[in-house]
Amino acid sequence: GAVVSQHPSWVICKSGTSVKIECRSLDFQATTMFWYRQFPKQSLMLMATSNEGSKATYEQGVEKDKFLINHASLTLSTLTVTSAHPEDSSFYICSARVPPGYEQFFGPGTRLTVL
């Protein structure tokens, strides 16, 4: 299947700092990428849908100013958690849809811990 990478795989930061997570499609061009958040032993919660060259579409309840998403190219989307707080600690996962079909592949995830 197609390969999606994420960087970093884990990050620890102090409260109040900003953290950027990168999501890359390595062997295909992804016009649409998705960002999820997952708490322990729970399902994936969609945060936003990112389309190349346009503004991201956020799910209800997700703070746009806190979770900044940029999809600047067909192979890269970034999620920036601004002014992170301990409650933002979670497992963040991106996925990318392989056009023109329906298949969607996930990155390995980024574990964010805010102290």
Secondary element (H or E) of residue 90: strand 90-97
Secondary element (H or E) of residue 106: strand 104-106
User: Which residue lies nearer to other proteins by CB, 6 or 75?
Assistant: 6
Among the listed ranges 61-69, 70-78, 81-89, 104-112, the one in contact with other proteins (CB under 8 A) is 104-112
Minimal distance, residue 97 CB to other proteins, in Å: 4
Can residue 107 be called a binding residue for other proteins (CB under 8 A)? yes
The DSSP secondary-structure symbol of 87 reads G
Asked if 107 and 26 count as a contact pair (C-beta separation under 8 A), the reply is no
d(C-alpha 25, C-alpha 3), whole Å: 6
Can residue 41 be called a binding residue for other proteins (CB under 8 A)? yes
Among the listed ranges 13-21, 67-75, 76-84, 88-96, the one in contact with other proteins (CB under 8 A) is 88-96
